[in-house]
């Protein structure tokens, strides 16, 4: 519903807005979302049905595979008493296979639904969908190597849950900083708050693009790029480990060369300390976090980080769609 193509700021009012980028948010918008998230958590944990989204249909259309984002959006709608239209793999199962344009697909789906959640392999597609939609808000569930705003909102919430603040943090981000869209949204989110420092560790082929690096360092955040694990600080508030994004490589030999560069396991944790840190990963992991630390109490990637995904998405859906 974003006709003027610029990003619409939330500015204290979520109603009817597209969610395309973390650049739409202010610190206040994020903290008010987390207040709503607490209510949503109560609804999800109780068994009593609610009607917050009764009569609403949310279409979820994913051009790329997903386990968490797709299902947590679907669960979030259903937790709130709404219904979903679910389109997996439209390149095979919809008229997209006959050559239908994205714009036409969106115009059709908005005739059936009250919101559209879209994941696509190309950067900028969520914005394109928002430009095409006349009546319904668009949720960006990942646009290629661009952004993944709802993931960053749940990541920030997971950090907030543990540390009760989103400023004065020291974080460590490891893995695929070039292609990892969750990283691109999370850095944007952390740069909204004061005095955050992020150490960035990746194979040299997978550093943040220089465009993004230059954009981010003009913001309110300190980025420190390092090449070796030994250059990371021993005190940190969170670790954010990520998968090397195989599907983005033109040359799979490069992927094979860099994929296992940084592996987090018990030995490394013992060596580095990181006593006060939580260990996050957007998942799926493909070997870069060893299962031998899954039960460590700092590990949240299969625990609160997952559950927060549904609660935060419930809060967004409620604020954006619910008739008040």
Catalog residues that contact ligand NCD under the rule CB under 6 A. Answer: 66, 68-69, 142, 148, 151, 181-182, 243, 245, 282-283
- Integer Cα distance of 66 and 89 in angstroms: 10
Is 119 considered catalytic here?
A: yes
Rank residues 120 and 243 by Cβ distance to ligand NCD and give the closer one. 243
Rank residues 66 and 290 by Cβ distance to ligand NCD and give the closer one. 66
| Min dist. Cβ of residue 117 to ligand NCD (A) | 12
- Integer Cα distance of 214 and 55 in angstroms: 45
Rank residues 64 and 265 by Cβ distance to ligand NCD and give the closer one. 64
Residue of 36, 41, 68, 307 with catalytic role: 68
| Min dist. Cβ of residue 282 to ligand NCD (A) | 4
DSSP E strands: which ranges in 154-308? Answer: 170-174, 196-201, 221-226, 238-241, 278-280
What angle is formed at CA 39 by the lines to CA 169 and CA 278, rounded to 5 degrees?
25
Residue of 119, 243, 259, 313 with catalytic role: 119
| Min dist. Cβ of residue 83 to ligand NCD (A) | 23
Burial 150-186 (b: 16+ CB within 10 A, else e): bbbbbbbbbbbebbeebeebbbbbbbbbbbbbbbbbb
Strand order through the sheet with 278-280 = 221-226, 196-201, 170-174, 238-241, 278-280
Coil, strand or helix at 203:
coil
Rank residues 68 and 88 by Cβ distance to ligand NCD and give the closer one. 68
Residue of 8, 56, 59, 69 with catalytic role: 69
Helices (H), 80-205: 90-93, 102-112, 125-132, 149-163, 181-190
Tokens linked to 277 = 């840190």
Rank residues 85 and 286 by Cβ distance to ligand NCD and give the closer one. 286
| Min dist. Cβ of residue 284 to ligand NCD (A) | 6
Residue of 56, 120, 148, 281 with catalytic role: 148
| Min dist. Cβ of residue 185 to ligand NCD (A) | 9
Catalytic residues: 68-69, 98, 119, 148
């Amino acid at each position: 519903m974003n006709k003027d193509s610029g990003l619409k700021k939330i500015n204290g009012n979520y109603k009817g807005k597209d969610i395309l980028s973390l650049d739409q948010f202010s610190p206040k918008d994020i903290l008010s979302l987390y207040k709503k998230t607490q209510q949503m958590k109560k609804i999800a944990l109780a068994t009593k049905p609610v009607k917050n989204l009764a009569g609403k249909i949310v279409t979820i259309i994913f051009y790329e595979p997903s386990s968490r984002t797709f299902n947590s959006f679907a669960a979030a709608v259903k937790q709130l008493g709404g219904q979903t239209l679910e389109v997996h793999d439209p390149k095979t199962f919809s008229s997209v296979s006959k050559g239908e344009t994205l714009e036409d697909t969106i115009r059709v789906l908005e005739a059936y639904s009250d919101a559209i959640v879209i994941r696509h392999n190309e950067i900028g597609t969520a914005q394109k969908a928002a430009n095409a939609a006349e009546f319904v808000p668009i949720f960006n569930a990942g646009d290629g190597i661009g952004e993944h705003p709802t993931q960053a909102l749940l990541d920030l919430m997971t950090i907030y849950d543990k540390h009760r603040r989103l400023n004065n943090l020291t974080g460590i981000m490891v893995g695929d900083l070039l292609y990892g869209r969750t990283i691109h949204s999370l850095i944007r989110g952390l740069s909204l708050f004061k005095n955050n420092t992020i150490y960035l560790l990746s194979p040299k082929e997978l550093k943040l693009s220089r465009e993004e690096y230059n954009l981010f360092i003009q913001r309110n955040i300190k980025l420190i790029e390092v090449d070796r694990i030994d250059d990371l600080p021993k005190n940190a508030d969170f670790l954010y480990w990520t998968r090397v994004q195989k599907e983005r490589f033109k040359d799979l030999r490069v992927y094979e060369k860099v994929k296992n560069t940084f592996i987090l396991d018990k030995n490394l944790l013992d060596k580095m300390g990181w006593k006060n840190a939580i260990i996050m990963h957007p998942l799926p992991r493909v070997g870069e976090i060893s299962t031998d630390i899954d039960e460590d109490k700092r590990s949240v990637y299969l625990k609160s980080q997952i559950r927060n995904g549904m609660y935060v998405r419930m809060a967004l859906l409620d604020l954006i769609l619910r008739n008040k």
